């Protein structure tokens, strides 16, 4: 692993790894193949137990400072822990990482009470009666007409007295059906474009919050993705995060930090592809020797390793820039974040495909774990900003620089 971590950091990474290998891995084939994972189904209940275990270990509070009851970890440790989770199942890792996506705007721009409120929800100390499991939150930005074009939000938040009233529908929300609390982006002044969007904390239990049907996804099936509908939802004015009109910028700053964490998930998928392919290539014989002794396979494995390690390095490169910028009170790391997310997303799809190629017909069979890696990998080029959006960000930064 390219990260240079001390013993305390490694203890956290190993905590995630042990849980993923011992508890999650045995259930992955059954849950990945289940037609649905709603809380009412037997498989859905098993998944919720896995989520509960992650909360009990603190995996949903890794980056929350200790003063608020979290584990107070840096993002090098978080990324390495996510890689371990994703090596076992990228859907499960997505659930944990998406919760952390909802948390980030609060950690970056929320006040003390808001941070405490969120930490209590993610510790499982505070819960929502409607949520099927404590400890998760969700980031509600995407709408049917506001995906890549995130500033085209139609959800509104109207200030009335000492409340805001939220109306609108968010879609493709990871953890939509399991979260106890949401970070919601809504238009407070439609005359101001991106400067008229604000961020809010909305508890799941608020009247008027409801969940749409769960998406039936190609991969990352151990994560829950739903619509979240807000109908005349009243929240106290103190649930506004930071300043009115700054929501879009907060969302972008959040994504700048979260996208490299998706890079870590992608690296986990790629590393699993290498591990499975090497294991197979050492025992599978053709022309009188294990296929790993054939240059065609050995060089393919070497290329897979090069790509994966460069992906990991792009996360480390991002984090070096991130910590340097934050030390100086700046947020200028969009380019490094987009490069990392884009490279790792594209890379993991190719590495997963290469793993199938090495396993041949067995790789294509659902009996072996590598076909799932391709299904899981594809989303890495799509969510948290498509790789086309990452290229918009990168080209915009190049233009600005020159």
Q: Alpha-carbon torsion 17, 18, 20, 25, what sign?
A: positive
Helix, strand and coil content of the chain, in percent to the nearest 5, comes to: 60, 15, 25
Stretch that binds ligand COS, among 22-30, 82-90, 119-127, 246-254 (CB under 6 A): 246-254
Note whether 383 binds ligand COS by CB under 6 A: yes
**Cα–Cα distance for residue pair 198/196, rounded to 1 Å:** 7
Among 79, 141, 211, 222, binds ligand COS (CB under 6 A): 141
**Cα–Cα distance for residue pair 205/139, rounded to 1 Å:** 16
Q: Pattern 98-137, binding to ligand COS, x per CB under 6 A?
A: ----------------------------------------
Stretch that binds ligand COS, among 50-58, 221-229, 239-247, 250-258 (CB under 6 A): 250-258
- What tokens does 351 get? 């590495």
> Which residues on adjacent β-strands are paired with residue 187?
156, 197
Q: Pattern 315-334, binding to ligand COS, x per CB under 6 A?
A: ----------------x--x
CB proximity list for 223: less than 8 A, separation 6 or greater? 91, 92, 94, 95, 98, 174, 175, 217
Minimum CB separation of residue 268 from ligand COS in Å reads 18
| Residue 259 to residues 55, 109, 128, 265, Cα–Cα distance (Å) | 22, 18, 28, 10
| Residue 44 to residues 49, 216, 217, Cα–Cα distance (Å) | 9, 14, 15
Nearer to ligand COS, 28 or 264 (CB): 264
Minimum CB separation of residue 54 from ligand COS in Å reads 20
Question: Is 143 one of the catalytic residues?
Answer: no
Note whether 314 binds ligand COS by CB under 6 A: no
Residues 169-208 that bind ligand COS (CB under 6 A): 194
**For residues 91 and 376, is the Cβ–Cβ distance under 8 A?**
yes
Stretch that binds ligand COS, among 105-113, 142-150, 235-243, 288-296 (CB under 6 A): 142-150
By Cβ distance, which residue is nearest to ligand COS? 385
Among 12, 59, 150, 266, binds ligand COS (CB under 6 A): 150
Stretch that binds ligand COS, among 40-48, 197-205, 226-234, 378-386 (CB under 6 A): 378-386
Q: Which phi and psi angles does 38 have, rounded to 5°? A: -65, 155
Note whether 282 binds ligand COS by CB under 6 A: no
- What tokens does 172 get? 């493709």
Minimum CB separation of residue 349 from ligand COS in Å reads 18
Q: What is the DSSP string of 94-123?
A: HHHHHHHHHHHHHHHH--HHHHHHHHHHHH
Let me know the angle formed at the C-alpha of 78 by 74 and 83, rounded to the nearest 5 degrees: 150
Nearer to ligand COS, 99 or 142 (CB): 142
**For residues 133 and 52, is the Cβ–Cβ distance under 8 A?**
yes
Stretch that binds ligand COS, among 8-16, 247-255, 267-275, 308-316 (CB under 6 A): 247-255
Question: Which residues bind to ligand COS, rule: CB under 6 A?
Answer: 139, 141-142, 148, 150-151, 194, 248-249, 252-253, 255-256, 331, 334, 383-385, 389, 392-393
**Which residues are catalytic, by number?**
384
């Amino acid at each position: 692993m390219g990260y240079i971590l001390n013993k305390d950091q490694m203890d956290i990474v190993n905590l995630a790894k042990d849980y993923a290998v011992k508890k999650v891995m045995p259930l992955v084939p059954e849950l990945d193949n289940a037609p649905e994972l709603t809380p009412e189904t037997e498989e859905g209940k098993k998944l919720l137990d896995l989520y509960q275990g992650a909360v009990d270990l603190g995996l949903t509070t890794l980056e929350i400072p200790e003063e608020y009851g979290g584990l107070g970890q840096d993002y090098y440790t978080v990324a390495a822990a996510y890689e371990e989770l994703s090596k076992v199942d990228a859907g499960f890792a997505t659930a944990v990482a998406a919760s952390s996506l909802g948390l980030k705007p609060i950690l970056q721009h929320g006040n003390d009470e808001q941070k405490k409120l969120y930490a209590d929800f993610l510790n499982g100390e505070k819960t929502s009666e409607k949520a099927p499991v404590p400890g998760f939150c969700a980031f509600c930005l995407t709408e049917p007409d506001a995906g890549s074009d995130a500033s085209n939000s139609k959800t509104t938040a109207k200030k009335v007295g000492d409340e805001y009233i939220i109306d609108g529908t968010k879609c493709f929300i990871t953890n939509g059906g399991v979260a106890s609390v949401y970070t919601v982006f809504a238009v407070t002044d439609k005359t101001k474009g991106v400067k008229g969007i604000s961020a809010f904390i909305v508890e799941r239990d608020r009247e008027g919050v409801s969940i749409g049907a769960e998406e039936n996804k190609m991969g990352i099936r151990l994560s829950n993705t739903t619509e979240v509908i807000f109908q005349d939802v009243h929240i106290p004015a103190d649930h506004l995060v930071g300043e009115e009109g700054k929501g879009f910028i907060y969302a972008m700053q959040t994504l700048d930090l979260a996208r490299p964490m998706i890079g870590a998930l992608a690296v986990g998928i790629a590393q699993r592809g290498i591990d499975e392919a090497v294991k197979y290539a050492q025992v599978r014989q053709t022309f009188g020797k294990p296929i790993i002794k054939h240059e065609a396979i050995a060089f393919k494995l070497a290329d897979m390793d090069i790509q994966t390690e460069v992906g990991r390095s792009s996360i480390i490169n991002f984090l070096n820039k991130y910590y340097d910028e934050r030390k100086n009170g700046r947020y200028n790391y969009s380019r490094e974040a987009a490069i990392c997310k884009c490279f790792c997303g594209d890379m993991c799809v190719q590495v997963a495909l290469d793993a199938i190629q090495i396993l041949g017909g067995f790789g294509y069979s659902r009996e072996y774990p590598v076909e799932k890696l391709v299904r899981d990998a594809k989303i890495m080029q799509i969510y948290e900003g498509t790789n086309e959006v990452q290229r918009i960000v990168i080209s915009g930064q190049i233009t600005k620089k020159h």
